[in-house]
Amino acid sequence: MKEADKMRAGQHYDPSDKELIKMRAAARLLTEKFNQTSIIKLKKRTRILKSLLGECGKNAYIEPSFNCDYGSNIYIGKNFFANFGLVILDVAEVRIGNNCFIAPQVGIYTATHPIDEQERNQRICYAKPIYIGDSCWIGGHATINPGVTLGNNVIVASGAVVTKSFGNNVIIAGNPAKIIRQIG
């Protein structure tokens, strides 16, 4: 099995594999191009995003700077807005629904490492997918950790560290994040 296939399957893989290095380099070049494209060239920026991401819904907008590992594992819905400094480590799939807003300096991380010291020191990696439902709002400096699923209409407070999944219609805050209020 190729390292890229292992990576996508959530198995331990070697990130120094030549194919994976080439894929990350291609994503870095596209994000560099995106981040350096003028705000007045919105159509060009949108084309770059569409070529980088696995899926990019209508009216999707990301402020530079934006960084990701591969891009091809990111699927965003329509009417998406991300403010400055978004980082998505998309070693596994990241799916973000429609009408979602992301504040500045948010990190969405699918990548993780073994707890076992010897495995970790061998640079072994693996990943867990992240799913974010429709109409979510993620506050500034929030962190979404590997394997998290957020339901629809979830508000993540600024600075929250989301380590587990949450259902629909909640406001979550803290480190680790917990429900502070139901919505509706």
Total number of domains in the chain: 1
**CB contact at 8 A, 126 and 3:** no
DSSP letter for 63, please. P
**What's the CA gap between 120 and 125, in Å, rounded?**
8
**What's the CA gap between 74 and 46, in Å, rounded?**
15
pLDDT in tens, 130-175: 999 999 999 999 999 999 999 999 999 999 999 999 999 999 999 9
Q: E strands of the chain, at which residues?
A: 55-56, 61-62, 66-68, 74-76, 81-82, 86-89, 94-96, 101-102, 107-109, 111-112, 126-127, 130-132, 137-138, 143-144, 149-150, 154-156, 161-162, 170-174, 177-182
pTM for this entry? 0.95
- The pLDDT of residue 119 is above 90: no
Which residues span the domain enclosing 13? 3-182
Contacts of 8 (CB under 8 A, 6+ apart): 73, 92, 93
pLDDT in tens, 55-99: 999 999 999 999 999 999 999 999 999 999 999 999 999 999 999
- Report the Cα–Cα distance between both ends of the chain, in Å, rounded: 48
**What's the CA gap between 171 and 27, in Å, rounded?**
33
* Whether 141 is catalytic: no
Mean pLDDT score across all residues of the chain:
96
Supply the CATH number for residue 30's domain. Answer: 2.160.10.10
Q: Which member of 33, 113, 128, 178 is catalytic?
A: 113
pLDDT for the residue numbered 138 = 98
- The pLDDT of residue 116 is above 90: no
